[in-house]
C-alpha cells in the first residue's frame, strides 16, 4: 500500500510565494530545492508541493489534483469553486476596492450607474453591483487595472489595494471596499480519512506557529516586595514562573504576553519596579 501523502498547491512566484514557503518551513517541513521547479516534496513530512499561478489553485483543489492549497480569499471567492477554508493564514492582506478619479464627486454607490468599470475580478464586481442595484459595464482586464481610467479605457476601477499608494499615484481615490482579504488554507471536499488526519497534523503546526507570532516571552527581575503586584500584571499561560536570584531580595519572573497588551503591560511593569526586562520571540506555542 502506498503511503498517504498530501499535495499542496502554492503560488509559483508573486506576493504569496515567500510567505507560503516560509510558513511550511516554520512548521518544520523541509522542502527539497524549491527554485525553478514545478513541484517538489518534503523528506520529513508526507507533503508534495505544486507551484502554480494563484488563479488556478481553487480549480486544482476542487478537482482534487491538489488536496490543499494556499490562496488569497479574493481569488478564492472570485473563482467561486467548491472547496473549504481550513485556516486563515494572516499574510497577503489586502482589500478589493472600487476607486474613482480623484477629482470626481462620489456620494454613494449610485454614482457608479452607467459607468465603465475595469477589473480583474468580474464576478465579485458584478455581485457587488447587483447587491446595490447598480447597472454598470464591466471591462475585464488581467493586469495594470489602475491605469485604465488614465488611458480612457474605463471610468472607474475595481482592484486590489494594500497601502493605496498605487491608486494615489494614478490619480484615483478609493470609495468602496468590496472585500477584505488574506491568504487562507483551503482543502478539497472529498479528502479521505488518512488525508484528513495528515491535514489535522499540518493545521496543528500552523496554529502553533500563528499563536507564537502573536506572543512574546518576557523575563524580568523583580524586587520581592513588589512581586505580588508584578505577578498580578502577568497573565502567563498558567501562571508566571518565579525563580530566586542570587542577589538577595530579588526574583526572576518569566511569562508570556500577547501582542495586543504587550506595550501596556511593559509600561506598568516598569512602574512597579521591574528591571532588566527581556522580550524574546517565541518560535512555536503549543497549549
Question: In this structure, how many other beta carbons lie within 10 angstroms of the beta carbon of residue 99?
Answer: 25
To ligand ATP, the closest distance from the beta carbon of 1 in angstroms equals 35
CA distance 111 to 104: 10
Does 162 help bind ligand ATP (rule: CB under 6 A)?
Answer: yes
Does 69 help bind ligand ATP (rule: CB under 6 A)?
Answer: no
Write each residue from 8 to 47 as x if it is in contact with ligand ATP (CB under 6 A), else as -, in one continuous string. ---x--xxx-------------------------------
**Contact of residue 16 among Zn ion, ligand ATP, none (CB under 5-8 Å per partner type):** ligand ATP
Long-range pairs for 226-235 at CB < 8 Å and ≥24 separation? 226/272, 226/273, 226/274, 227/251, 227/253, 229/272, 230/269, 230/272, 230/273, 230/274, 233/265, 233/268, 233/269, 233/272, 234/265, 234/269, 235/261
Does 19 help bind Zn ion (rule: CB under 5 A)?
Answer: no
Q: Which residues ranging from 52 to 71 are in contact with Zn ion (CB under 5 A)?
A: 54-55
Question: In this structure, how many other beta carbons lie within 10 angstroms of the beta carbon of residue 103?
Answer: 7
CA distance 83 to 64: 10
To ligand ATP, the closest distance from the beta carbon of 121 in angstroms equals 10
Cα-trace Rg, the chain:
25
To ligand ATP, the closest distance from the beta carbon of 11 in angstroms equals 5
The residues of the shown chain that bind Zn ion, judged by CB under 5 A, are 54-55
The residues of the shown chain that bind ligand ATP, judged by CB under 6 A, are 11, 14-16, 53-55, 72, 74-75, 92, 94, 160, 162, 181
Amino acid at each position: 500500500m502506498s503511503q498517504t501523502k498530501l499535495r499542496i498547491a502554492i503560488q509559483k512566484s508573486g506576493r504569496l510565494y515567500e510567505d507560503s514557503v516560509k510558513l511550511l518551513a516554520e512548521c518544520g517541513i523541509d522542502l527539497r530545492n524549491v527554485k525553478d521547479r514545478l513541484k517538489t516534496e518534503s523528506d520529513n513530512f508526507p507533503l508534495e508541493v505544486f507551484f502554480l499561478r494563484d488563479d488556478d489553485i481553487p480549480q486544482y483543489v476542487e478537482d482534487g489534483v491538489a488536496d490543499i492549497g494556499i490562496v488569497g480569499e479574493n481569488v478564492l471567492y472570485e473563482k467561486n469553486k467548491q472547496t473549504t477554508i481550513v485556516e486563515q493564514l494572516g499574510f497577503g492582506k489586502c482589500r478589493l476596492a472600487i476607486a474613482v478619479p480623484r477629482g470626481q464627486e462620489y456620494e454613494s454607490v449610485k454614482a457608479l450607474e452607467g459607468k465603465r468599470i475595469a477589473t480583474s475580478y468580474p464576478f465579485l464586481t458584478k455581485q457587488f453591483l447587483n447587491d446595490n442595484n447598480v447597472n454598470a459595464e464591466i471591462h475585464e482586464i488581467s493586469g495594470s487595472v489602475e491605469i485604465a481610467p488614465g488611458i480612457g479605457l474605463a471610468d472607474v476601477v475595481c482592484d486590489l489595494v494594500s497601502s493605496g499608494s498605487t491608486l494615489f499615484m494614478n490619480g484615483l481615490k478609493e470609495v468602496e471596499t468590496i472585500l477584505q482579504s488574506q491568504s487562507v488554507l483551503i482543502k478539497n471536499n472529498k479528502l479521505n480519512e488518512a488525508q484528513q488526519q495528515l491535514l489535522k497534523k499540518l493545521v496543528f503546526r500552523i496554529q502553533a506557529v500563528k499563536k507564537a507570532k502573536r506572543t512574546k516571552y518576557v523575563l524580568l527581575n523583580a524586587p520581592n516586595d513588589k512581586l505580588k503586584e508584578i505577578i498580578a500584571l502577568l497573565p502567563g499561560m498558567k501562571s508566571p514562573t518565579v525563580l530566586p536570584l542570587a542577589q538577595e531580595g530579588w526574583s526572576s519572573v518569566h511569562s508570556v504576553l500577547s501582542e495586543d497588551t504587550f506595550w501596556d503591560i511593559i509600561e506598568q511593569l516598569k512602574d512597579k519596579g521591574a528591571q532588566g526586562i527581556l522580550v524574546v520571540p517565541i518560535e512555536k506555542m503549543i497549549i
